[in-house]
Amino acid sequence: MELLVENNEDILYRNSHPSGNYSVKTGYAFLINSSSLEQVADQDYKFFKLICSLNIPPKWSLFLWKLVMNGLAVRSNLIRRGVDIEGACVSCGMMDEDLQHLFRFCSFARYAWNNSSLHILTEINESTSLRHWIQHYILLFNSEDGKRSERLQAVVGVLWSLWLTKNGRVFRNERGYVADYFRHLSQTMNSLESFLKPDSRPKEHSRHLASNGDQPPGYCRVNIGRRGDLPTTPMQGDNAVILKVDGSWDKTTGHAGFGWAYSLDAVNFWDAGGEYGTMSALHAELTACLKAISWAKTKGYQCITICTDSFSIVQMLRSPNRREVRLLWTLQELLKVGGSFDMCTLWKVGRDQISQAHFIAGSCRRNLVSFSV
């Protein structure tokens, strides 16, 4: 918990979002967590949690969610919403077209499942709802094969192909014969193969951009000093110093440590100081920056560079709308102290580059000691 540095007025904020502001997303999450999930069976909860993490195209995940939630525009649903159409199945014409019939009991669907690689007989357990019938196979194949299960992909592929065949018959004047179904199934599995190709989704590059905010290495930095320009090198300006800072936090005890080391030549670094306290992980990182900057101010430096491995801190200082309300006072104090320097640049670096500060922070946390040179 933050401690007030100076007197400030109390503010109201919503605890459900780091910014303290209300959003539709957090409102929806609150309603789901407070009521809906209590009424959802354990199997349903596991299934909904699994859908978005399956190794399938996103549109398949959305389709699967709509299918089990009875949200697809089959004829029974359209009639219930007041659309004046015939209710008979467009494939067999024998029964009313609802999701259970279209994807499971229609003669066309039975043929598709029986001739798939899974050879599923849809007549077994006819009293089971379509929702739980689909859940059974997806949860079963996921538990036995994992999220990359080919059997799981085949289940979703058949469902998607049946839906494409039905839409082709309604909207594109296709005959909807077996040949049309197998054509759609072939296209579906080819699109899945393309989706799963490593070359089409550069994972390493995507992870790098996601963790660094579309910034190349070395360019993720912010200057909170009086001069607004960004330095091109860590050592820039008169009376300059480089500080490596880090915070260490123990989840079990809640104890945190802060450490910083300094250099006047960007080559040799010496231990500068360390303290301990009780707070959260991100708060520990932020406090480490504040302690190091305050130490540099007492030493009379005017141009300082803070090296931190926390991308979140740099982002919060660069973007006011990303600041967490729980850290607001510490951020304000950091900006206040940083603004007293000619240049005060926080530079995102790799963890290996702040190992000395990390060792100091860990030692202060474990031994509950503080020091300063």
Q: Is the pLDDT assigned to residue 281 strictly greater than 60?
A: yes
Q: What is the pLDDT of residue 201?
A: 46
CB proximity list for 335: less than 8 A, separation 6 or greater: 224, 317
Instruction: Give the span between the Cα atoms of 308 and 314, in whole angstroms.
Output: 9
Please state the pTM of the whole predicted model: 0.48
Instruction: Give residue for tokens 């951009």.
Output: 209
In 208-269, the DSSP E strands lie at: 221-223, 240-249, 255-263
Report residue 113's pLDDT band, with 50, 70 and 90 as the boundaries: very high
CATH architecture of 221-372: 2-Layer Sandwich (3.30)
CB proximity list for 341: less than 8 A, separation 6 or greater: 225, 226, 293, 296, 297, 301, 302, 303, 304
Report residue 41's pLDDT band, with 50, 70 and 90 as the boundaries: low
Strand partners for 260: 245, 273
Antiparallel, parallel or unpaired: β 255-263 and 343-348: unpaired
Q: What is the pLDDT of residue 350?
A: 87
Instruction: Give the span between the Cα atoms of 130 and 364, in whole angstroms.
Output: 58
Q: What is the pLDDT of residue 197?
A: 80
Instruction: Give the span between the Cα atoms of 364 and 373, in whole angstroms.
Output: 15
Q: Is the pLDDT assigned to residue 237 strictly greater than 50?
A: yes
Q: Is the pLDDT assigned to residue 360 strictly greater than 90?
A: yes
Query: 223: closest CA among 281, 305, 296?
Result: 305
Q: Is the pLDDT assigned to residue 43 strictly greater than 90?
A: no
Q: Is 154 helix (H, G, I), strand (E, B) or coil?
A: helix
Instruction: Give the span between the Cα atoms of 185 and 62, in whole angstroms.
Output: 18
Q: What is the pLDDT of residue 53?
A: 85
97-111, 130-144, 208-222, 316-330: which has the minimum mean pLDDT?
A: 208-222
Q: What is the pLDDT of residue 210?
A: 38
Mean pLDDT taken over the chain: 83
Q: What is the pLDDT of residue 33?
A: 67
The ranges of the chain annotated as CATH 3.30.420.10 are 221-372
